[in-house]
Amino acid sequence: MQPFDKVQPIVLLVDKTHPAAHRDAVAAAAVASVRAYTATEDSEAWENWLYGRFTKTVRRANPTTFERLAAEAPSGPVTVGRAQALAFEPVTYEEMPKNLAKLQVSGTQLPDEDPAPRPADSPEIVLNADLEMSTGKASAQAAHALLSWYLQLDPAARQAWQDAGEPAGVRFTAGEQFTELAARPGAGPLIVDAGMTEIAPDTATAFVAAASFSPAAGSRA
């Protein structure tokens, strides 16, 4: 990746005293990514980035830092269970604000506890369980998948999802079942990772399962 390439910064709240559940954090990050886009979609920051790799950088913040950043994030804080996430407009690494650039990418792993309940008709982000992704990596892939899904909705469906409170669930599925679900009619774009961190290039990582809001296609992260 070149220094002039844009990435979308996403920030997870990592509270070491009261850590959130892994899947809730992944869902919160994905929704925050979409919400940052819907809040600022007329900004030039999204130009070209939307037609490229959708690259994201997921970083962690303690409660004090997270609260301070929340006032600046176009997404505002997105809460799922005890998890919270923020997202910003795409920016190059060189131009990334210092208060974001100094946040750590490592240390985002959260406990795999039962997630918070969600509405039955929520879009479900399905991630490839064979890959054993960290919370940060899974959050980036889930954000790729949910934003790709959202962009293919018609205006009425987008509005319906927003009016419903922008719900999303997360599920990890391994092996043939992941492949089978991804191929079903109505499944969202299949995300194929570029292999810059954690996993090999050209690996399928995530998609949004068929939901009441849904279309389909393919996307590369």
Q: Given this model, what pLDDT does residue 5 score?
A: 85
The domain made up of 6-101 has a fold known as Bit1 (3.40.1490)
User: Same topology for domains 6-101 and 124-220, yes or no?
Assistant: yes
Residue 114 DSSP code:
P
- List, for residues 69-90, the tens digit of each pLDDT value: 999 999 999 999 999 999 999 9
Supply angle C-alpha 185, 168, 183, rounded to 5: 20
Rounded CA separation 56/81 (Å): 23
Strands 83-87 and 78-80, by their bridges, are: antiparallel
Q: Given this model, what pLDDT does residue 193 score?
A: 79
Under 8 Å between Cβ of 57 and 1: no
Q: Given this model, what pLDDT does residue 194 score?
A: 74
For the chain, which residues make up each domain, given as ranges? 6-101, 124-220
- Whether the per-residue pLDDT at 218 is higher than 50: the answer is no
Q: Given this model, what pLDDT does residue 56 score?
A: 93
- 159: which 2 tokens? 């509005």
Under 8 Å between Cβ of 162 and 118: no
Rounded CA separation 46/90 (Å): 6
Distance of CA 78 to the CA centre of its chain: 11
Residue bearing the bigger pLDDT, 114 or 196: 114
Rounded CA separation 36/34 (Å): 5
Q: Given this model, what pLDDT does residue 54 score?
A: 83
- 18: which 2 tokens? 């009261």
- Whether the per-residue pLDDT at 175 is higher than 60: the answer is yes
The CATH classification of domain 124-220, taken from the options 3.30.70.260, 3.40.718.10, 3.40.1490.10, 2.60.40.10: 3.40.1490.10
Q: Given this model, what pLDDT does residue 210 score?
A: 66
Summary mean pLDDT of the chain: 90
- List, for residues 23-71, the tens digit of each pLDDT value: 999 999 999 999 999 999 999 999 889 887 789 999 999 999 999 999 9
Q: Given this model, what pLDDT does residue 191 score?
A: 93
Q: Given this model, what pLDDT does residue 195 score?
A: 65
- List, for residues 97-119, the tens digit of each pLDDT value: 999 999 999 999 999 999 999 88
pLDDT band (50, 70, 90) for residue 205: very high
- List, for residues 109-167, the tens digit of each pLDDT value: 999 999 999 888 889 999 999 998 999 999 999 999 999 999 999 999 999 999 999 99
Q: Given this model, what pLDDT does residue 1 score?
A: 46
Under 8 Å between Cβ of 187 and 208: yes
